[in-house]
Amino acid sequence: MPDGNFGGGDSAATRMDAMYRYQRHIYDLSRKFYLFGRDRLLDLLPVSEGSSVLEMGCGTGRNLVCLARRRPTARLFGADVSAEMLATARASLDRAGLTRKVDLAQAAADGFDPMTAFGVAQFDVIYFSYVLSMIPDWEPAVRRALAMLRPGGTLAVVDFADQGAAPAWRRVILLNWLKLFHVHPRAEIEQGLRALAREIGSISADVDVLSGYAYMLILRKTW
């Protein structure tokens, strides 16, 4: 359902592969109608020449293709727990002529080692696009990302809001639809990210997407 998946180890990989084995072929076509804010997030990322950027839960590689075209001098990396989604990502990058511009690895949030996967210890920018609402225990994934972020680096998230402020009809339809794909928007995620921002530094961008449909937070790590 979201752009990708990054939590839960082997059991999550098996579950995600089963869910996306066939769905991945129409994934990008269908998701453009309700994964809003992704392109704006990419535009807001502070990516300069030579910046190293990691997408955690890269899914089909859609965002990485877009970012590679926007920021051709950046060093781009993507990790996802699903081998099926990574197969689609590699095919997408190959069609776009970007295979040498983006490195991919299969990995889950728990125990992810960027040195083993990419030969890189830390990144300038790490982002999650519609991923955290799919991870039951989301905080370890975010803290692992923060540990891989350089001082002064940026952590960015766009994801579904909890729909608490949405009209009842939208809340019921959207939440029941998302549940089919193991997606569970929770207020605790957005609140937790805001608390982490106070812990690590500051929020440099705070965007409400479509009146409470989704949120976008860009955090700057100052230590």
Question: Could you tell me the residue ranges of all domains in the chain?
Answer: 9-221
User: For residues 104 and 102, what is the distance between their CA atoms, to the nearest angstrom?
Assistant: 7
Alpha-carbon distance of 78 to 72, in angstroms, equals 16
Which fold does the domain 9-221 belong to in CATH? Rossmann fold (3.40.50)
Which tokens in the block code for residue 77?
């990396």
> pLDDT per residue over 98-149, tens digit each?
999 999 999 987 778 999 999 999 999 999 999 999 999 999 999 999 999 9
Average pLDDT score over the chain = 88
Q: Is the pLDDT of residue 92 over 70?
A: yes
Q: Could you tell me which residues come within 8 angstroms of residue 60 by beta carbon, excluding any fewer than 6 positions away?
A: 3, 4, 24, 27, 28, 85, 88, 89, 92
Q: For residue 13, what pLDDT is reported?
A: 55
Looking at residue 22, its pLDDT comes to: 39
CA distance 99 to 22: 23
The tokens of 182 are what?
């193991």
